[in-house]
A and B are shown apart, each in its own frame.
Chain A
Amino acid sequence: MLNRIEDKMPELIQGLVKTIKAYQMYGLNHPSFRNFYVPFYDKLNGFLEEYGLLDLQIEKFTILNAGQVVYQENEKDLSIAFKLFRDGIRNINITEGLTPDELLHFIETIGQTNKDQDLALSLWESNFSHLTFYVVEEEDETLNYLIPDPQYYDIDYDARIRDILDHERIDLRAVIDPDLNDKELAKVNAEINEEKAVQVGPAITTMISFLNYEKSTEIIDSLGELLERCINQRDFFNARRIVQKLNEFPEIKIIKKFENEKIILGFADLPETLDDQAFNDFTAFLGFFSPESIPFLIRMSARIRRKERRDSLRQRIAYLAQGDPTPILPFLTGSDTPVLVNAVSILGLMRIKKIADYFEPLYQHPNPGVRIALIEALFNIKEPAIILRFLEDPDQGVRINTLQALTALQYQRIFNRIVKRLREKDFLTLDIAEQKEYINCLVGVGDPKRTARLLEKILFKWVLFGAKKYRVMRKLSAQGLAQLAEESAQKALAAGCRRKNKDIRQACEMAMRNR
């Protein structure tokens, strides 16, 4: 049997060494690491199932099993044996039942390249179930085992007890029952479980309290480290608290460290994945960034699918720009459409009139998404006259957005043009959504009385179109009337509901219902 173990041992140890090296090169999550780790675990597990135990003795540069050298590396920096030996580890036992997670953690622990690491301490803290190790401690002969004598005083010790009882108001006859009831027990257990999580929040509160008392390099540096940790763990609530405090010290440019392409583009998935509270914390945290980070932020936020979050981030970037469009302008000439759209939207949100000039070359942009973004931006800077350009756009979505923008801006000068468009023969060839938008625009921009008269005319009298198509116009005008607060409009609708003409009656009834 010994021979069989001896045969298997070199392969096993080689597997261990290769797996550790793969971890050091690739980290735990890389597929290349798994290629080493999985077969090694299978091999080790098979060995443990067969023999129950893997017993390894550690010497300075060698690892032995049953007195036979199974590993040797004399180069200190490379030698696993030396690394273990240096921290006092002299023996490692791995027993049957070792779980994949335990092995993974073992590899991670001994694969650490941090020279300050205490391997014995790390292994001990890991609390393995199927892995034990023996550590020798430095012997220290200078320990003082002498027990000091107590001080004796010439006092009445019983009187001292009486004084204490009196001072503390203690009744020694009081019964003490230290048993915890179920509720108390459950509370204590809950607190023990809570304690397992890392308490970053209270640590930040503590360090902030320190800085409220005194400025300290150690505390500032540690808060910087914590900030990094919070950002890596997507804890933007606490990240924000740290930056807010450190910003009180103008010479500390704490956020600078994070204003780089790699970190900011690494945030790209967050707007899609964070919950609402965490997302709000994230956007608030971005508020601490400087305009220098804007180019990265524009790229990071360009492809967010969730509209409300995209808009929220655009608002934040616009705020960061502080009225200066310079860092955004280069993106207007780029070929990446989502980035271009993002840049246009953000410029619009900055609400500075002069940006309309920068948009000029983009009005004929072949992508309708860009043209819609331009309409939104022009809406934000209140430029209806320029928006009007898009009313004849070949794309229906662009036209609808145009009408909506003009409605919202209450651009009255368009009233007659809309009336004219309604009269045009091909109006009924438009999609119903666009037709509705025309009526909405009419209602939105026109004088209410005048609009009511016009709509009433369409509803009851207009004979411009053939009978079948006219049904649509009646419906649209009834809906328009329903949107008007004018008394004449309401009367017209009420009258329509009493009409014999089925089309008029149905259109008015439906509009009243939907009002």
Chain B
Amino acid sequence: MSLYRSGKDLINQFYALVKSTQIYDLKNDVVIAAADKFVGHIGKFLANVPQVEFIRYRDYIFFNKLRMRFEIEGYASLQFMNESYKRLKLKSITFLPGVTPDEIIRFASLFREDHDVFLKSMAGGDIRSVTVQFAGPEEEIPDFLQNGEQTKRAYFKSLKATKNLIQNLWTNQPVNVKSFRRVVYTLIDSISQDEYGVIALTTIKNFDEYTFNHSLNVGILALAMGQRLGLDKKNLVKLGTAGLLHDIGKVEINKELLYKIGKLSETEWDRLKLHSLFSVRQILKTRGLDEISISVLVTAYQHHWNFNGTGYPARDQEEILPSFLSRIIRICDAYDAMTTPRPYQPVPYIPALAVRVIWERKGIFFDPDLVKIFVQLFGLYPVGSCLELSTGDIAIALKENTGHIDRPIIKVVVDQHREPVDGALIDLSVTAGVNVTRAVYPQKYRINPAVYLT
């Protein structure tokens, strides 16, 4: 069994144990069986490693340095762990060799208590094989996770490869397929390590290089959704590649038309709509035909197909649903397109409005189930949102809070006197008395959110 699978199983088993201690007497057979199962499993690890450690950092739970991802399967257990860590102000829990079922039962039963009782009980010293560390006022980055620079590097490297690919196709130059293919797996690795770190980078909006940024951003957003959905690696590769290449057919569209400011004529619009068709040819040119491109070309072709049978290119029968991956790309493409300045839309939608539009159009343009996943992942105030607070301060949303879609982790950047400040991080999910009043344009306050996020 893989380390990752074991970590997920241990979290599930611990969750079951805690729940059983809240329902039954601690001597009940159900509780004892749950404890035996957990100790049996963790004992196998402790035979080979000095300790088993669950650390929480930025809403992520790490099992012996391996990040546990929020996926549909086991979502409840992982969310419970995350919430419990937050409520009990825990930084880490460490299980040591010799841990007994009796100790585990007593430890699990403490999860119903509040922070003070928990702290006092652990200080009592009668649970010796389980140790905890409490979180300080400032969240410390675990040493094994100091890879923000790596994430950034991966992003810019991917951007460069995407740009090279598109530009070379535009000018009929040979493309470096190998380097481009590696972009996808670099992104997948980065997202699995630092999901929100990578998502934050999608707030970089480059007006002059819209095409490249958009392709990369759609790839990243789609991969984040794919990871949340628990797609396997192969499907993540398909999804990421589809995100990066979905608009590649635009290289066959005249640049003047592509960047035209003002209303398009019907003929021009018809021509522009052909880009999803042309993407099929460009994908085959770029990647050749393999299992990945078979899926990618379908996704690119269908990425403007709406959930209700409308959209383009026309399909033979309206009831034919776009492929699953196309429906993901449809959402991510629309979100990034809405939130990115373009020649014909110099002041784009703010992220919070784009999320609302997507929510309102679920079942019409977008797959309703996938829209829900999208909102779970990005929240109502996605990373980079500029927010007015009930305190009068202005803040930037830095990260979503799993399970609290309207209460992200924020950083105050302008105070109520409209003075720029380097405010502290505020986790709105655990901070009473501070609320988001509304989302606003960061330009109103001359703020560039990307600066705080990258």
User: Is B134 interfacial (CB 8 A cutoff)?
Assistant: no
A152: nearest residue on chain B (CB-CB)?
Answer: B443
**Which of A144, A157, A192, A195 is in CB contact (< 8 Å) with B444?**
A157
Known contacts A161-B353, A164-B353: A199-B298 contact under CB 8 Å: yes
Interface of B is mostly: helix
State in angstroms the CA–CA spacing of A367 and B454 once bound together. 86
State in angstroms the CA–CA spacing of A122 and B21 once bound together. 46
Known contacts A149-B448, A192-B324: A206-B298 contact under CB 8 Å: yes
Known contacts A196-B235, A219-B281: A206-B295 contact under CB 8 Å: no
Residues of B within 8 A of A (CB-CB), count: 77
B201: nearest residue on chain A (CB-CB)?
Answer: A147
Chain B residues in 8 Å Cβ range of A150? 205, 341, 442-443, 448, 450
State in angstroms the CA–CA spacing of A170 and B74 once bound together. 34
Known contacts A147-B454, A176-B375: A192-B277 contact under CB 8 Å: no
Residues of A within 8 A of B (CB-CB), count: 65
Max chain B C-beta neighbours (<10 A), residue from A148, A153, A184, A195: A195
User: Is B430 interfacial (CB 8 A cutoff)?
Assistant: no
Query: Would you give the shortest CB distance from A167 to chain B, in whole angstroms?
Result: 10
> Interface 1/0s, chain B 201-213, versus A by CB < 8 A?
0001111100000
Is there contact, CB below 8 Å, between A195 and B353?
A: no
- Spot the interface stretch: A208-216, A406-414, A467-475: A208-216
> Interface 1/0s, chain B 195-229, versus A by CB < 8 A?
00000000011111000000000000000000001
Known contacts A148-B204, A196-B235, A222-B284: A206-B297 contact under CB 8 Å: yes
Chain A residues in 8 Å Cβ range of B444? 157-158
User: Is A124 interfacial (CB 8 A cutoff)?
Assistant: yes
User: Is A172 interfacial (CB 8 A cutoff)?
Assistant: yes
User: Is A419 interfacial (CB 8 A cutoff)?
Assistant: no
Is there contact, CB below 8 Å, between A203 and B294?
A: yes
> Interface 1/0s, chain A 174-209, versus B by CB < 8 A?
001011100011011101101110111011011101
Closest 7 CB pairs of A and B: A157-B441, A178-B375, A178-B372, A157-B444, A129-B2, A127-B233, A143-B156
Spell out B's residues near A (CB within 8 Å).
1-2, 72, 152-153, 156-157, 160, 178-179, 181-182, 185-186, 204-208, 229-235, 237, 274, 277, 280-281, 284-285, 289, 291, 294-295, 297-298, 301-302, 313, 316, 323-325, 341, 346-347, 349-350, 353, 356-357, 359-360, 368-373, 375-376, 380, 405, 438, 440-444, 446, 448, 450-451, 454
Task: Supply 15 A–B pairs (Cβ within 8 Å), ascending by A.
Answer: A125-B234, A137-B157, A148-B205, A157-B441, A160-B441, A168-B360, A184-B369, A192-B230, A192-B231, A195-B235, A196-B235, A198-B294, A203-B294, A205-B316, A210-B280
Spell out A's residues near B (CB within 8 Å).
97, 116, 118, 120-121, 124-125, 127, 129, 137-138, 140, 142-145, 147-153, 155, 157-158, 160-161, 164-165, 168-170, 172, 176, 178-180, 184-185, 187-189, 191-192, 194-196, 198-200, 202-203, 205-207, 209-210, 213, 216, 218-219, 222, 225-226
